[in-house]
């Protein structure tokens, strides 16, 4: 599996393209024009770490190009994709609501999704930053979104954040990270707003 990172123009959020065996998956979706050159073979879907708008704002553009792809998130993430108030885009220049709710596939804590022939992703529920936060574990790669960014305090001042729960999630991710590589939702030690 090859993992490539994109740093998006909105809040320096990070997206990743995972490719192997003629198939690609994306983790979080910002600037589609930056993602497109990195997609190898057939794009199957997007794994959402959480539905804050800086991690999802490119989804409608992506779905216009790839209408059949799967959008993986949990129930709280689905609500965020479908509500500009919950995903906070309402308070920024371009309110975002997902055009194609039928593409959403609800995952739960511990669910496995087959990505490539011999590679699966496991959804690890890591709430606190947001009630919809998921860390995607793919082999020893951990896509942590904003639940854990090395060197950065987890942001918990959103209306539906929970500081104590975020700390528990962070500790759990740190345990997993002992045998893994972290791919965070923003560059490590970034100074940007999350």
**Cβ-based nearer residue to Zn ion, 24 or 89:** 89
Q: Of all residues in this chain, which one has the CB nearest to Zn ion in the complex?
A: 52
Which runs of E-coded beta strand occur in 12-118? Answer: 14-20, 23-27, 42-47, 70-73, 104-106, 112-116
Residues 86-145 that bind Zn ion (CB under 5 A): none
| Rounded least distance, CB 52 to Zn ion, Å | 3
CA distances from 178 to 87, 90, 119, 175 (A): 31, 38, 20, 6
- Interface pattern 144-183 for Zn ion (x via CB under 5 A): --x-------------------------------------
Q: How far is CA 2 from the centre of its chain?
A: 17
Please, what's the b/e burial string for 49-77 (b: 16 or more CB within 10 A of its CB; e: otherwise)?
Answer: bbbbbbbbbbbebbbeebeebebbbbebb
In the list 44, 52, 78, 170, the residue contacting Zn ion (rule: CB under 5 A) is: 52
Stretch that binds Zn ion, among 23-31, 50-58, 106-114, 172-180 (CB under 5 A): 50-58
Stretch that binds Zn ion, among 52-60, 72-80, 81-89, 107-115 (CB under 5 A): 52-60
| Rounded least distance, CB 11 to Zn ion, Å | 9
Q: How far is CA 30 from the centre of its chain?
A: 10
**Cβ-based nearer residue to Zn ion, 52 or 78:** 52
Reading the block at residue 3, the tokens are 């993992």
Residue of 54, 45, 73 whose CA lies nearest to 187 = 54
**Cβ-based nearer residue to Zn ion, 10 or 119:** 10
The three-class DSSP label of residue 28 is: coil
Binding of residue 78 to Zn ion (CB under 5 A): no
Report the interface residues with Zn ion, using CB under 5 A. 52, 146, 194
């Amino acid at each position: 599996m090859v993992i490539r990172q994109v740093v998006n123009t909105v809040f320096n959020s990070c997206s990743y393209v995972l490719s192997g065996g003629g198939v690609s998956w994306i983790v979080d979706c910002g600037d589609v024009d930056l993602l497109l050159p990195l997609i190898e073979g057939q794009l199957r879907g997007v794994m959402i770490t959480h539905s804050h708008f800086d991690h999802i704002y490119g989804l409608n553009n992506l779905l216009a190009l790839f209408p059949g792809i799967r959008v993986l998130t949990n129930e709280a993430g689905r609500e965020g994709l479908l509500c500009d108030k919950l995903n906070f885009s309402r308070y920024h220049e371009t309110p975002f609501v997902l055009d194609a709710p039928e593409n959403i596939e609800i995952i739960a804590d511990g669910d496995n999704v087959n990505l490539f022939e011999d590679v699966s992703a496991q959804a690890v529920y890591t709430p606190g930053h947001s009630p919809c936060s998921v860390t995607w574990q793919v082999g020893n790669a951990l896509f942590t979104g904003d639940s854990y960014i090395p060197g950065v305090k987890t942001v918990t001042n959103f209306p539906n954040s929970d500081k104590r729960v975020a700390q528990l999630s962070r500790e759990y991710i740190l345990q997993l990270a002992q045998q893994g590589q972290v791919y965070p939702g923003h560059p490590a030690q970034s100074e940007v707003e999350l």
